[in-house]
Amino acid sequence: MDVNTQESLHSEQNTAFSQFVDQAQGEAPGGVPTPQKPQLQKIKGHYPTKTSINLAYKEKKTGKNLTALALFGVFLVLLAVFTKFMVLDQIAAVNAAENLLDTRQRQLSTLQRSNSVYDQVEAEYSHFGIGYLSQDERDRHDRVNMMDVIDDKVGISKGIRTIQISENTAVLSFLTLELKDMSTIISRLEESEYVSYVTASRATTTDYVITYVNEFGERITDVDDETREAVTNYITVVFKTPAAVKAAQAAAEGGENQ
């Protein structure tokens, strides 16, 4: 590069620098002033000092919320009571009924199997039981029941001497029985539902001997036996037939139901 060229470049640089200075001072190239930019006002500030933020929402209706919670608690209690008595207890009752039904069905099945041989048992019972009894034998009153009635209505304390039973009739004999005692015994016997009627009779006087014995049952030789007279009284008791007893009981039950 020659000297002229260097001087030309140096002159252009000076010119460009002068224009830049003029623009910085508010003048456009050629001496025309450029518009001034508004100066920004500096604002003094500081960095925030709070380092955390509370995001919790503060409730303003605390009373209403407590009421709602209380009502919800009452609802839960009522729901629990309803579930206990109307659901759980009912389910338990149904289960118990089903178990009882199963038990009864098993028992019924067992009884049905046991009764499957009823015809055979009935035939054997008829052979050894009352199946071959005559009508007169069937009409006889049960002897054990006759003795029970006599023992209950009379008792051994009244001095029963003998008891003779034939068919449905029992004849009781007493020694030295007073008339008033005889009347009481007859009334008591007639109260029984198994007795048809009662009659009384007085026999002749009979003699009987009294022998004195000691505590060992041995006869006392120093005391002579005594002979006394006694009047034998008889009470005849006629019992009902089994058929008549059943008919009387059925009639009594029918009257009570009415």
Q: Which two tokens stand for residue 32?
A: 């025309």
Give the residue ranges of DSSP H helices in 83-212.
89-114, 118-128, 135-138, 143-153, 179-190
Residue 218 token pair? 């041995």
Q: What is the pTM of this model?
A: 0.42
pLDDT per position as a tens digit, 1-29? 554 555 555 566 566 555 555 555 544 44
Residue 196: pLDDT band (50, 70, 90) is very high
Confirm whether 44 is domain-assigned: no
The HSE-up count of residue 120 (CA atoms within 13 Å, CB side) is: 4
pLDDT score at 27: 46
Find all residues with CB under 8 Å of 213, minimum gap 6, and list them: 219, 220
Tell me, yes or no, whether 84 lies in a domain: no
Overall domain count for the chain: 2
Average pLDDT over residues 62-76: 83
57 domain residue, yes or no: no
67 inside domain: no
Domain enclosing residue 232, as ranges:
141-257
Domain assignment of residue 50, yes or no:
no
Residues 6+ apart with CB under 8 A from 230: 175, 176, 205, 206, 207, 208
Question: How would you classify the pairing of strands 195-210 and 169-175?
Answer: unpaired
CA 117 vs. chain centroid, Å, equals 36
97 assigned to some structural domain: no
For 169, residues 6+ apart whose C-beta sits below 8 A from its C-beta are 236, 237, 238, 239
Q: Which residue has the tokens 């048992």?
A: 121
Note the pLDDT tens digit of each residue in 27-41: 444 454 555 555 555
Q: What DSSP state is assigned to residue 85?
A: I
Question: Considering the domain boundaries, does residue 49 fall inside one?
Answer: no
- Residue 231 is part of a domain; what is its CATH number? 3.30.70
Is 233 within the bounds of a domain? yes
